[in-house]
Structure 1
Amino acid sequence: MGHCFQVQEKPSEMEMESRDLRIKITYSSKNSTEKFRKGTVVEVSSDEEGYKGSWFTATVIGSTGSDSFLVEYHNLTMDDGIQPFREEAHARHIRPFPPKVSGIVHFKELQEVDAWYNDGWWEGVISKVINFSEYIVYFSSTNEELRFEHSKLRPHQHWINGTWLIASKGKSCELAMACRDVQVNMNDAGNKSKAKFNLGAMVEVRSDEEGFWGSWYTAVIVDLIGNDKFLVEYQTLRTEDETELLREEADVSDIRPYPPDIEHFYCFAVQEKVDVWYNEGWWVGYISNVLDDLRYRVYFETTNEVLEFEHSDLRPHQEWVDGNWVAASRDWKF
């Protein structure tokens, strides 16, 4: 995909209420033939009993009428198990391949998701979080629950009247966060905010080690060591023998709540401050160049280097300031 999606509103510092977000990604209005040209990668649904709520990736081979197309599935084969399965599909059963939503570290109960199952994406709802890597998903179409790993799930998106609608659990860019797992108390005597994290809270931990400044790693609070220290278990870092998730003590000053998800389907701008997924963590940097095919060069001030990344590797930068999440504006200079 060589272009960025247009978001209807994209203020530098949005103020939103504590409610589910719906972010619209709009496409120009075209007829079916124009939208689904030969070679277009799409997803196709089925009305067959037992398959409702499922979407299968396919490529448009050609038009067979004003509103019908011949499609070739990517993961379904003929009876011989070799040749890709082809069939005619009506335009109402076809939608563009959905944009990737990056930076999803964990899903929440009652969140709408698509689960990769039987060679397709099936619409469901998280009914139980087993841990931060496994979930129980309920499928209303079949009235059953199945267990899935995190890697087999994606956020659910609706394609309605030429628009992608995404239901998000994120709260805001400037967030007065009253989270179930994280309590923030103001200490007037010390004139500063002091965060108290409950056991099991999802957080991010920064490193003060040389060469790792400006990086944040997802972790879970395992235990309280003292007034200002916690035992944390990283979700992407492992022990030297690679057998277990890494645990270590962390000072409260190096811990912050896990930031709210902000879907970012428009292009990042030059000099915009971002977080980059790199070496199993989020690193703070600045967009130095916008390249073709949704790629960017990012400058890292702490290491004085420039590296190239895809759009899906980036997320908008947010600052945790006095118990609030504040989105970085676009007027950063470097």
Structure 2
Amino acid sequence: MSKSNPSSSWIAQFKPGDRVEVSFDDPGFRGSWFAGTVIRREAKNPNRYIVEYDQLYEDEFGEKLLQETLDWIQLRPPPPPEKKKKVQFKFGDKVEAFHSDGWWEGAITAEHSGGKFAVFLRGSKEQIVFEEKDLRLPVQWVKGKWEPRFEQVQREKEADSNCPKEVMKFTQGIQVEVTTEDDGFKGAWFAATIIEPSGEDEYLIEYKTLTNDDDTEFLREDIRACNIRPCPPEITVVDGFEVMDEVDAYYNEAWWVGVIAKILINCNYVVYFK
């Protein structure tokens, strides 16, 4: 099945008058969507459509709306409305921001007062402050249907914090990393050693950097198996990190889950800890 002659029935859904959004592969426009209306299908090639944009014009005076002939793969229906009346945006959320007459893919890099957010736009490599009303959660139109919104899926995963039924087994003396649900320590992984099993799916561990109250010996605790992981392998990063990369950063004797918020000189970074 070739791209120019697809047989999927859902492609034929676009007809004159249908509202659509249009994507581009041109440099500087990747990850952007512009609203328009289908005028008609091309007579010689039924997989191409003539679309008139809502806010893009042929002339510099803004008197005649731009029309273009586009391949079906560049079109999608307008995204469905949010299920919730109001989305609570936060740092690190992947979003689409309304900018320069289109919706652009990006990620929130800072939260400002007054319901405003700084967003890093991936296509144009810009960071711009937007009002909450100009943001929406990203969606994907795949094979004629909408996939779940990315951030909704992520939040559902974060809400399910219970241990899985099947957990990894550890042997005495193995080097591991452990995390805790205690306030102020969520998202931190501490180096430790397995001392011995202490219950069903639970182990007595000894920290390698944390000590007891009088600093006479390393702290020992009983930890659930689902809060223990093997030590991650060392990975060499050749080209450095980019804004919004998810990382583990070593701070206060632990590896903390975070996001690159800003790139400084000499391979230094500002990291936001979730």
2:14 to 17, 20, 36: 36
2:134 to 136, 141, 152: 152
**TM-score, reference length from structure 2:** 0.50
> What is aligned with 1:70?
50
* Alpha-carbon offset, residue 68 of structure 1: 0.6
Question: Whole-Å Cα distance in 1 between the matches of residues 142 and 37 of structure 2?
Answer: 21
- Match status 1:92 vs 2:73: yes
> What is aligned with 1:55?
33
Please identify which structure carries the higher strand content: 1
Preserved contact between residue 106 and residue 150 of structure 1 (Cα < 8 Å): no
Preserved contact between residue 126 and residue 138 of structure 1 (Cα < 8 Å): yes
2:143 to 130, 138, 161: 161
Preserved contact between residue 10 and residue 143 of structure 2 (Cα < 8 Å): no
> What is aligned with 1:200?
none
Structure 1's 74 and 38: CA in aligned 2 closer, same or farther, altered over 3 A?
Answer: same
- Paired residue type of 1:30: S
> What is aligned with 1:124?
106
Q: What do residues 181-226 of structure 1 show as CA deviations (whole Å, max 9, x unaligned)?
A: 9xxxxxxxxxxxxxxxxxxxxxxxxxxxxxxxxxxxxxxxxxxxxx
* Alpha-carbon offset, residue 175 of structure 1: 6.7
Q: Mean alpha-carbon deviation: is it higher for 36-45 or for 129-138?
A: 129-138
- Give me the CA root mean square deviation: 2.7
Identity of matched residues, %: 32
Greater relative contact order (Cα < 8 A, sep 6+): 1
- Match status 1:138 vs 2:110: no
- Match status 1:104 vs 2:82: no
Question: Whole-Å Cα distance in 1 between the matches of residues 155 and 26 of structure 2?
Answer: 35
Preserved contact between residue 44 and residue 93 of structure 1 (Cα < 8 Å): yes
Question: Whole-Å Cα distance in 1 between the matches of residues 183 and 81 of structure 2?
Answer: 28
Unaligned runs of 5+ in 1: 1-28, 182-334
Unaligned runs of 5+ in 2: 1-7, 163-180, 185-274
> What is aligned with 2:23?
45
Q: What do residues 280-324 of structure 1 show as CA deviations (whole Å, max 9, x unaligned)?
A: xxxxxxxxxxxxxxxxxxxxxxxxxxxxxxxxxxxxxxxxxxxxx
Preserved contact between residue 61 and residue 69 of structure 1 (Cα < 8 Å): yes
- Paired residue type of 1:58: G
Aligned pair count reads: 153
Larger radius of gyration: 2
- Paired residue type of 1:37: K
- Paired residue type of 1:92: I
- Match status 1:170 vs 2:155: yes
* Alpha-carbon offset, residue 131 of structure 1: 3.5
